[in-house]
Structure 1
Amino acid sequence: MRDHPPTVETAKDLAFLVITAVGESAIRQANPAYSRQADYLRVQSGLIELLRECADDAEGWGQVLDCFEGKGQVQLMTIHKSKGMEFHTMIFFGLDNQSWWSLSPQRKEELNSFFVAFTRARQRAFFTCCIERGGPITWLDNVLGTVVPRVAGCDD
């Protein structure tokens, strides 16, 4: 690829080189949904489009790959999608007693989901709650106690 600077067209060519090198059958076996032609073609099209977007203004292939990997970007996902992953920082939006009404020590499945998400943070976790929507989850607020600093929001 050294002889071919990143462009929208060379990115498309790269996508097909990767698909050929890995093998369509191996890609299809990676996820049972890919056995359906429509699903496989949607994923293939997504790969090509993402590489093309990344190559559009890139100065080199390293920059294309950084963009493709999402380097320097914030990842938004559900708790279930985060399982098995780790991140430097986790931010929980809307961790109030109306959005997370089922988060209680008595409800093991919901508590396990919260634990999965919370343990994805390697260094820190931030929690936000909306006072207008119900306020903090009392038992969680008590567990965090005085160890975790509180910051009040603005009333703009």
Structure 2
Amino acid sequence: MNSDTDLAALTCEIDRLHRECLSLIMATTNASHRPTASYAPFAHMDGKFYILVSGLAIHGENLKAQQELDILLIEDESKTRNIYARLRLNYRGTATAVQKDSAEHGRAIALLTERAGKTVSLLDTLDDFTMYRLTPTRGTLVQGFGKAFVFDPADLAGGVVQLNEKNIGDYR
């Protein structure tokens, strides 16, 4: 990263995607490592994502079997100038169930309700729905051609690396 200004601009883009995207796309796998792509509305709180999903859904089953997942936030197609260069933010992360009667659960439900509406309160009363905390462990922001950056979501100021032909293998 070249300067504090560059870091501020990246942070601004990351924050914007966290605000503007109401749902995230997730890639999960089952116990046999069979992949599934899905989505869920989310709340972003304390650097983590919170989703409320049914255990009857494939992604709900997968999150119980395998904690590792990939998260994607992506700019709306109608806002992009070039469909190949959409602004996007990927996170590798882990999923952990949040205890229903905890303060963390209450805060996450309140934020999710604010973002996704009153359906959240209804779903939270159903026995098959579980709140998951998705903790990002590595982030990649792609701003367009030749503009991809890898970072530690827990310590953005600790270093952002711009990907190029020489270092991309180190981050796969």
> Is TM (by shorter chain) over 0.5?
no
The structure in which a higher percent of residues are helix is: 1
TM superposition score normalised by structure 2: 0.24
TM superposition score normalised by structure 1: 0.26
The structure in which a higher percent of residues are strand is: 2
